[in-house]
Structures are given as structure tokens and as C-alpha cells.
Chains A and B, each alone.
Chain A
């Protein structure tokens, strides 16, 4: 009934439902594909299967409690989500964060970025039909998750950042273990790179597939690695430096053609740059307090803020309206995956069914963030 309404059924060759239970839709995402043989004529994405009303829930929780809700938005880059919210509240309250806390935040966020991109690498391998990359990637990701567990006490839903700093001091052997971890991970990245990036079949599957030009990408609100793959060197860490990102020397990987391979390789390169940032942060970090002097129950003054951070998936914006009470009046999350996913309709037209999987994988969506 609903199908008939949306797509003219006269010239439909075959209509297939990709998802919500499909191995490569990366969560509960549904694509209505209208195909002619192996070609996709029309596509209609359906989201909302994971809609939990997070934004509404935020309005009924205290600021400190909201952090836990943000953990569950992009559930593979939790700390980046926490950082976005904490920074928004802090700049609303005009708090000064102790240096050490900022450094720890940056280190953990960049580690989380690496973990998130590794997840992308592994699942992307599966999407194009290679089964080994996922195991290589998860081996490295597992080390990072274990590292997180030793610091925050949780593998995924950390709830580690506080308004004004972080929850707890780091363990004693943090530096040694971190440098060991970085060595292992950077070696692992090179292995992953060798395994997949230059494989002829992988190139054949991803090069010149799902091309989105810079102007189209901007028009669709695409951000993050996807936008950089199209040739625009925009990164919030550089455009509007937040936290202490202006203190590091690192690179922004930018590609020119905007195809799937570029989106893939930009992420791989970002892992290397993140390692660079972490190493610098490690050497710059000094002892000191980890929590600013804030009241237990934060009451930001009346006002509003739109705070942008660079999550692994792109521009993560938190629009926070405060009425001066201990609960936010309105929280709106600008989820990067949400905007990135919009471009899918455009990308998939005329592609092969197999490309649908490749393209969707290369956009790297997390449904927790899309549906909120």
C-alpha cells in the first residue's frame, strides 16, 4: 500500500527491500530498491527504527545525566559524543577546563576515532566480500577497547567525561601502555593498509563508484571524511578549533575524486594522523587537576549555543538551549550520519545492487546517531 504510493508500480521490474534485517545495512536501516535487472532505478531510504527520542529525553534529565544519553548516539565513537555535549555545556557556562583534562579528552577522543575508523575498515571489507579485514581490524580495535575499559571502566558506554573535566585520574602506567598500544595499532594499520587498499579487486569495486562531487556533497550537507574525500579540506578541528586542537601539528587527509575508495582511504589516513595527535598530546600533557571547580548540579545561565565538534563521521553539532534550570530546555543534535545518509538517494541511482552495499558502507553510518 505504502509502496504503491511512493513508486509508480507500472514500470517496476523488481522491488526489493534491503533491510531492516540485511547483513550490510549497518544496523536497522531499510532501503527500498527499485531495480531493473542488476541496476537500481530508484531508491527510498527508511530510517527511524532506532528512534529513542534521545533529544526529548535530554530535556528531562540533569546536565550530568545527559552525558550518558550522548554515549548512545554514535555508539562506536562514544567519547566524541560526550566531548561534544560537555564542550557545549562548558562554553555555555564559560568554564575553563584544566589542561590535563583537555589533554586526556583529546587522547581518548582520538583513540576513539581510531577505533571507529577501524570498525569502518573491517565492515567495509565485509561489504565488498573480503572476510579477513574485519578480523585484522577488530584485533586492533579490541586492544583499544580494552584500553578504554582500563581507564573508564566500560568498553563502550563510558560516561567518563564530566562537565568541567573528566571523571577519574588516569591509571599509573597510562603513558607506557598508551605508547605500546600506539605502536601496535600503527603497525596494525599498515598491515590493514597492505591487506586491502591496493588489492586490484578492491580497487575495481570501489574506484569510480559512488562519486559525489564537492558541490553536491556540500548541498546535501555531507561532512567529515565523506566531504574531505570529495575535495574540500574542511575539518572542524581546524576550521573552528575547539578544546586544545590548535596545539597540535597534524594533517588533514583530502582526496579529490569523491568515490568510495577515496572515502575509504581518507579514513585510513585519518587513523595515522590521529596517532600523530595522540603522540603529541602525550608528550605535552602535564600533571594537574582534572576537574574544574563546578557545582555538582550544573546550572548554565539562560542562553543558547550551537557547538560543533569533529566526530569520526563529520560535523557533530549540539544545539543547546538553556533556561537557567538544571535541565536543558532543548537539545538538538546535528548528527553527521543523518546528513550524510541523505546523499545516499542521489548516489545510488543507476548503480548496481552490489554497489548499493559498497556505497552505503563507504558513507559509514551509525544508526544510533541517525535515528537518535
Chain B
């Protein structure tokens, strides 16, 4: 049963890449031209967003390139989400290009032991609070962010409540 399901899903993914829209093909070709070294360019078959999986040290240069190149011009940072996979943290950047009317997902892993990543606040000012929130809830340090004060939590809050190992039931607030 379990196997069957995963098989199904894989086959679906394959088929979806085949039926991708011409606009997406265009974007993929643009991306491959821009980032010849990046190994993973996927299409999330559900939302039809193209995924770009990169190393965390490349985040700033990649984002800079994505925003500044005239044919891509990903000028709109929608969201920065963090997911705690226990063995690693994953930062997910959702971008949109108003020019191409296309969205792009950048994924990068951050180690749990040393959660550090470059800030993209110079590229999009929208990153400011998203990064502060991620710093609050997941304890990720965004290097180069001018002001990583607690945003949602109060000063002096201990622990990172977004992470999976935060004791949600045993936590005593008062």
C-alpha cells in the first residue's frame, strides 16, 4: 500500500514535468542558463512552482542574481518559511516575478547545530520581519540583518518554539 502510493506519486511527478507549460519551460531554461552549477531544479507538481534547491552559502548571491537579472527580475519576496526536519532546518523562500508572472521557490538547508544563513534584507526589504520572525521561532541567525530583536516573542524568552523539540505541552508560561 505504502509503496504503491509513493510509486504513484513519483510517476505523477514525472508526468507533470512533461506537461509543464511553455512559460515554465522558458523559465527553466532561463534558470539553467543563469545557474549552470545548481543541480536541482524541480517543479512542484501541485502548485506548479519551480523549485530551486541550493546550498545555504549561496543564498545571497543567488537571490541577488534572481532579482537583478533583467529577464528574471524576481522582485517580490512573498514569504520566508522555516521547516524543522529535526536533522536539519530548511529555509524556504517564495519569490514572484511580476515581469514573468511566475513564482519560484528557493530551498536551502541549514544545520541545526550552527543555524546561520546570510540575510537577504539588502535585496528585498520585505525580508526584515520574516527573518526576525524566523530568528524568534527557530533560532536561525541571519548574518547581516541589522536588528534581530525578538519580534513576536517577548525579550528574554528562552527556547525556540517553532522547532519540533520545543515542549508544547510541558511548557509553563507563568
Q: Which residues of A contact B (CB under 8 A)?
A: 2, 47-48, 51, 53, 55-57, 60, 91-92, 94, 215, 218-221, 232, 234, 239-240, 301-308, 315, 317, 319, 321, 329-330, 332, 334, 338-339, 341-342, 346, 371-372
In the assembled complex, B150 has its CB within 8 A of some CB on chain A = yes
**For residue A91, which residue of chain B has the nearest CB?**
B46
| Inter-subunit contact B46/A221 (CB<8 Å) | no
Q: CB < 8 Å: which of A55, A305, A338 contacts B44?
A: A305
A315 partner residues in chain B, CB cutoff 8 A: 78
Interface positions, chain B 16-72, Cβ under 8 Å from A, are: 44, 46-47, 49
The 4 A-B pairs at the shortest CB distance, nearest first, are namely A221-B126, A332-B81, A334-B79, A48-B152
Residues on B with beta carbons closer than 8 Å to the beta carbon of A371: 152
Residue from the list A219, A305, A329 in contact with B47, Cβ < 8 A: A305
Residues of A within 8 A of B75 (CB): 215, 218-219
Which residue of A is nearest B82, CB measured? A332
Q: Complex formed: what's the CA distance from A47 to B129 in Å? A: 10
User: Please, which residues of chain B bring their CB within 8 A of the CB of A92?
Assistant: 46
Which among B46, B82, B129, B168 is the interface contact of A56 at CB below 8 angstroms? B168
Please, which residue of chain B has its CB at the minimum distance from the CB of A321?
Answer: B83
Write the B144-161 contact mask toward A (1 if CB under 8 angstroms, else 0): 000000111111000001
Residue-wise, chain B 66-93 has the 8 Å CB interface mask toward A (1 for contact) of: 0000000001111101111000000010
Please report the C-alpha to C-alpha distance between residue A196 and residue B152 in the assembled complex, in whole angstroms. Answer: 36
Rounded to whole Å, the gap between the CB of A87 and the closest CB of chain B is 11
Nearest CB on A from B41, distance (A): 16
Give the nearest-CB partner of A2 in chain B.
Answer: B155
Q: A254 to chain B: closest CB distance in Å? A: 13
Q: A218-B76, A334-B79, A342-B129 are in contact. Are A47 and B47 (CB under 8 A)?
A: no
Q: Give min CB distance, B74 to chain A, whole Å.
A: 11
B172 at the binding interface (Cβ < 8 Å): no
Query: Are B126 and A219 within 8 A (Cβ)?
Result: yes
CA distance A312 to B142 in the complex (A): 31
A30 smallest CB distance to B (angstroms) = 12
A-B contact pairs, 10 of them (CB 8 A): A48-B151, A48-B154, A60-B168, A221-B125, A305-B46, A315-B78, A319-B92, A334-B94, A339-B126, A341-B129
| Residues A56 and B152 in contact, CB atoms below 8 Å apart | no
Q: A27 CA to B152 CA in the complex, in Å?
A: 15
A346: B residues at CB distance < 8 A:
125
A51 / chain B contacts, CB cutoff of 8 Å: 152-153
Q: Are A306 and B94 in contact (CB under 8 A)?
A: yes
Question: Given the complex of chains A and B, what is the CA–CA distance between A138 and B170 in angstroms?
Answer: 43
State the B residues within 8 Å of A (CB). Answer: 5-6, 9, 44, 46-47, 49, 75-79, 81-84, 92, 94, 98, 101, 103, 105, 124-126, 128-130, 137, 150-155, 161-162, 166, 168
A-chain residues with CB within 8 Å of residue B44 when the two chains form the complex? 304-305
Q: Are B162 and A55 closer than 8 Å at their CB atoms?
A: yes
A221–B74 CA distance with the chains assembled, in angstroms: 12
- Cα distance A48–B157 when bound, in Å? 12
Besides A219-B124, A221-B124, 15 more A-B contacts (Cβ < 8 Å) are: A48-B153, A48-B154, A218-B76, A219-B126, A221-B126, A234-B98, A301-B9, A306-B92, A308-B78, A315-B78, A319-B79, A321-B83, A330-B81, A334-B81, A342-B129
Closest Cβ of chain B to A48, distance in Å, is: 4
Shortest Cβ distance from A138 into chain B, in angstroms?
Answer: 31
Docked Cα-Cα span, A53 to B6, in Å, equals 32
Instruction: Compute how far the CA of A79 lies from the CA of B150 in the bound complex, rounded to whole angstroms.
Output: 31
Given contacts A56-B161, A319-B92, contact A220 B101 (CB under 8 A): no
Q: Which residue of B lies closest to A52 (CB)?
A: B152
Verify A342–B126 contact, CB threshold 8 A: yes
CA distance A330 to B84 in the complex (A): 8
Contact of B94 among A47, A53, A303, A319 (CB under 8 A): A319
* Residues on B with beta carbons closer than 8 Å to the beta carbon of A239: 101
Q: Give the distance in Å from the alpha carbon of A99 to the alpha carbon of B6 in the complex.
A: 30
**A47 is contacted by which of B49, B103, B152 (Cβ under 8 Å)?**
B152
Say whether B154 contacts A332, CB under 8 Å.
no
Beyond A48-B151, A48-B153, A306-B105, whether A301 also contacts B5 by CB under 8 A is yes
With contacts A56-B162, A218-B98, A301-B9 taken as known, whether A317 is within 8 angstroms of B79 at the C-beta atoms is yes
In Å, the complex CA distance between A242 and B134 comes to 28
Is the Cβ of A303 less than 8 Å from the Cβ of B77? no
The complex places the Cα of A91 from the Cα of B77 at a distance, in Å, of 23
Q: Is the CB of A221 within 8 A of B84?
A: no
Minimum CB–CB distance from B147 to chain A (whole Å) comes to: 8
Contacts of B83 in A (CB 8 A): 321, 329-330, 332
User: In the complex, A321 Cα to B150 Cα: how many Å?
Assistant: 25
On whether the beta carbons of B46 and A338 are closer than 8 Å, the reply is no
Q: How distant is the Cα of A315 from the Cα of B78 in the complex, in angstroms?
A: 8
Shortest distance from the beta carbon of B109 to any chain A beta carbon, whole Å: 14
Q: How far is the CA of A169 from the CA of B119 in the complex (A)?
A: 49
Q: Which chain B residue shows the least CB distance to A334? A: B79
Shortest distance in angstroms between A338's beta carbon and chain B's nearest beta carbon? 6
